[in-house]
Amino acid sequence: MLSIEKYQEEFIKFLEDYKIVKAPQGLYQPIEYILNLGGKRLRPVLTLMTAHIFNSDYKKALNAALSIEVFHNFSLVHDDIMDDAPLRRGHQTVHEKWDINTGILSGDAMLIMAYQLFEHYEADVFQALAKLFSKTALEVCEGQQYDIDFEMRNDVTIPEYLKMIEFKTAVLVGAAMKMGAIVAKASTEDQEGIYDFGRYLGIAFQLQDDYLDAFGDPKTFGKQVGGDIIENKKTYLYLKALQFAEASDKNELEALFASNVDDASEKIVRAKAIFQSSGSAEATKSAILEYTNKAFDVLETLDISEDKKALLKAFGHNLMNRTV
């Protein structure tokens, strides 16, 4: 097995050789831009690692890993348009650097390019990858729609929110790992098990992202801190605060999340104070740990060595303790 950093290096080298810019440049330059903004490369690393874990040459999974990364970045381009987000990984978003029409069209092209990468595999692997990818892509769209719907609702429940982040974020992490298992031709049981491991880890990852959106360091987080508060998103932090807060704080928080102000600095300060005083911030940390441990429990069902389980656990712990 390789280190996480080595998988990242191998993937980035493969990405650099992926020929993107061609005519018309107005379509492909934004794609090259978003793919080279950096990021954690979490999903492709998981694809490569999983292929290796199930005794395959991880290099055979590079095209599947790149497909996941292209799709993930496609979804970010369109998400940023819907959220009117100014920054992505500390840089201008595609629609800000170019325009909205370019963001939509370049994003569409990325979705097609993601499918094309499966053409490098034999028929049975291609079919399994494409079937999983189509299911996952549709679930990601469903999760995004739930997220949009929740902005207009005041009765979102915690189970509903967890379902939304499972579809919007976690299923793609699960799919990234299952793709590695498919390329490695692991057993059906192991394919499903590693998918569940990734899915639980993905939920923990998104809960951690929610937490960092409010309490992360702007220098390392890469996105606008407090963005979810500005956009009145009903995150786990917000829902737990409503559940735990005193009546006066609950009323204030609901009023804050019903407002749209030009200068949101005070809104962010007050919301974060209520998240902390209510116990919501700590509850969110506990939920991150809970879903990470659920992922670790799944590892015990997999037909892999203890050393490989330890590697996956180390990856999970790193995610849980990240600051970016």
Task: List, for residues 150-209, the tens digit of each pLDDT value.
Answer: 878 889 999 999 999 999 999 999 999 999 999 999 999 999 999 999 999 999 999 999
Please answer whether residues 118 and 64 qualify as being in contact, where contact means their C-beta atoms are separated by less than 8 angstroms: yes
The pLDDT score that the predictor gives to residue 89 is 85
Question: Assign residue 23 a region: left if phi > 0, alpha if psi is -120 to 50, beta otherwise?
Answer: beta
In this prediction, residues 82-92 reach a mean pLDDT of 88
10-19, 247-256, 315-324: lowest mean pLDDT where?
Answer: 315-324
Mean pLDDT of the chain: 93
Residue 323's pLDDT band, with cuts at 50, 70 and 90, is low
The pLDDT score that the predictor gives to residue 220 is 62
In this prediction, residues 59-88 reach a mean pLDDT of 94
> Distance (Å, rounded) from C-alpha 262 to C-alpha 286?
34
Q: Other C-beta atoms within 10 Å of 202: how many?
A: 28
The pLDDT score that the predictor gives to residue 219 is 64
Q: Which residue has the higher pLDDT, 84 or 271?
A: 271
Residue 2's pLDDT band, with cuts at 50, 70 and 90, is confident
81-90, 270-279, 284-293: lowest mean pLDDT where?
Answer: 81-90
Cα 132 to chain centroid distance, Å, stands at: 17
The pLDDT score that the predictor gives to residue 75 is 95
The pLDDT score that the predictor gives to residue 315 is 84
Please answer whether residues 254 and 302 qualify as being in contact, where contact means their C-beta atoms are separated by less than 8 angstroms: no
> Distance (Å, rounded) from C-alpha 73 to C-alpha 88?
10
In this prediction, residues 239-249 reach a mean pLDDT of 96
Tell the burial category of 24 from Cβ atoms under 10 Å away from its Cβ (0-12, 13-18, 19+): exposed
The pLDDT score that the predictor gives to residue 232 is 87
Q: What is the pLDDT of residues 32-55, one digit of tens each?
A: 999 999 888 989 999 999 999 999
Is residue 88 classed as helix, strand or coil in its secondary structure? strand
Residue 147's pLDDT band, with cuts at 50, 70 and 90, is confident
